[in-house]
Structure 1
Amino acid sequence: MKNFMKKISLIAVAFLAFSCSKAESEKSLKTMSIAEIATVTPELSSFVDALDVAGLTDTFKNEGNYTVFVPNNDAFANMLISLGYASLEDLEAAKPGLLASVLKYHVLTSRVLSTNLTNEATVTTLNGQNITASVVVPDPINYPNDNVISLVYPDPFDTATPPANLSSTITARDIRCSNGIIHTVDTVLLPLSVNAD
């Protein structure tokens, strides 16, 4: 996770280095929007494409106070496979508006740091549905501070293992942007209605 954060910072700083000094670059990193940070981060290129296809790019370029759980490229590839589509454009053509709904399911309307995602905290997403944060320490003896935050759709079936695409793990957290916070995740969360289709 630390390496991923370093990559994001290095890419963004390199991007800004052409136009300003190092001190200005570090300051400017926090002035970049969610969409701009994602654009200069290769691991998030599918998210950038999804924003474009869904017509949401301007939302995350403009002012705001968002927390976005940004799925990485592998997460989008796996989602397309599980839904049976070859591309984001194919998904949008077959089910107009679905991609926007799925993306909004990853957005909170306030800035929330990972330290505020306490165990079993339920938060409401931009599309009006809830997700629950679960904090887990996988190896409390050797790595007591290496906690994993999982996001889970409240399981209506009350099963031990949620259905596919109902849970996701935060892989990098607390990336501060001018208009919010980015936490990267390893799975595209799909609301239950999408899983049922």
Structure 2
Amino acid sequence: MKIMKKKNLILSVVVILLTTLTYAQEEKFFEMVDDTNEYTIVELAEMDSRFSTFLTFLKASGLDTSVEYVEGYTIFLPTNQAFEDMKLGELSQLTNPENKIKLVEFVKHYIIPQKVLKNEFNSSQVITVSEDKSIKINTELNGQHVAIGGANIIASDIESKNGIIHVIDQLVTPTDYFATSY
């Protein structure tokens, strides 16, 4: 019986350590750039092919111009891999020129009109994206792990000339929950 308790304890400690290490290690992006502050968010994203899908949506929405020239905002930048789970019908619906309003709404889910660093998020926050949609923030491990609408921040606090980038691994999922925080 004591041996089983020790094995369970050891197993629990190993799982906790692996989880902590996984959340603590962020992926590296924009390593080819000496100083990210010299470039806008769009310029940085254009330098890394891992963001080409979101850039396509951003440009098709027409919001790329606003994002390029406005200062002081935060963008949750999904990798191309984040789009892999998107159904083909959803993808074609967003890229259809007749649905530009839906595309603009989709892209706006990834932009906050102020600079927010990763350590400033907490689990009591939501980001209001429309009258009936919000995005829930979840934090774990004393803010080491932050999820935005179900998408995990895998690289954070990348400062650019005009804002902050948080790279995310999934698409943001808004909910019908409503509260005001940002």
Q: Common fold, TM-score beyond 0.5?
A: yes
1:174 alignment partner, one of 151, 154, 157: 157
User: 1:77-114: per-residue Cα shift (whole Å, max 9, x none)?
Assistant: 322x2x62455xx5231633211101101111100000
Q: Report how many residues are paired.
A: 151
Partner Cα distance (1:67, 1:131) in 2: 14
Q: Which amino acid aligns with 2:55?
A: V
Alignment partner of 1:4: what SS? coil
Alignment partner of 1:184: what SS? strand
Give the C-alpha shift of residue 2 in structure 1.
5.6
User: 1:10-50: per-residue Cα shift (whole Å, max 9, x none)?
Assistant: 2x34xxxxxxxxxxxx3xx2021111111001211111111
Partner Cα distance (2:104, 2:54) in 1: 11
User: 1:170-196: per-residue Cα shift (whole Å, max 9, x none)?
Assistant: 111111011110101112124348xxx
Partner Cα distance (1:33, 1:179) in 2: 6
Aligned ranges for residues 137-156 of structure 1 at < 5 Å?
137=141, 147-152=144-149
Q: Which amino acid aligns with 1:52?
A: K
Check the 8 A contact 2:81/2:169 in 1, yes or no.
yes
Query: What residue is the counterpart of 2:43 in the other structure?
Result: 36
Q: Does 1:4 align with 2:11?
A: no
Query: What residue is the counterpart of 2:118 in the other structure?
Result: 114
Check the 8 A contact 1:71/1:185 in 2, yes or no.
yes
Return the index of the structure with the highest Cα Rg.
2
Q: Which amino acid aligns with 1:51?
A: L
Percent identity, aligned pairs only?
25
Alignment partner of 1:52: what SS? helix
Partner Cα distance (1:136, 1:34) in 2: 27
Q: Does 1:91 align with 2:88?
A: no
Query: What residue is the counterpart of 2:60 in the other structure?
Result: 53
Dislocated runs of 4+, deviation >3 Å: 1-4, 190-193
Partner Cα distance (1:54, 1:77) in 2: 20
Change in 2 beyond 3 A, CA 1:9/1:92: same
CA RMSD of aligned residues (A): 2.5
Unaligned runs of 5+ in 2: 1-23, 177-182
Alignment partner of 1:120: what SS? coil
Output the TM-score relative to the length of structure 1: 0.67
Partner Cα distance (2:78, 2:175) in 1: 18
Check the 8 A contact 2:70/2:162 in 1, yes or no.
yes
Alignment partner of 2:27: what SS? helix
Partner Cα distance (2:91, 2:136) in 1: 30
Q: Does 1:103 align with 2:126?
A: no
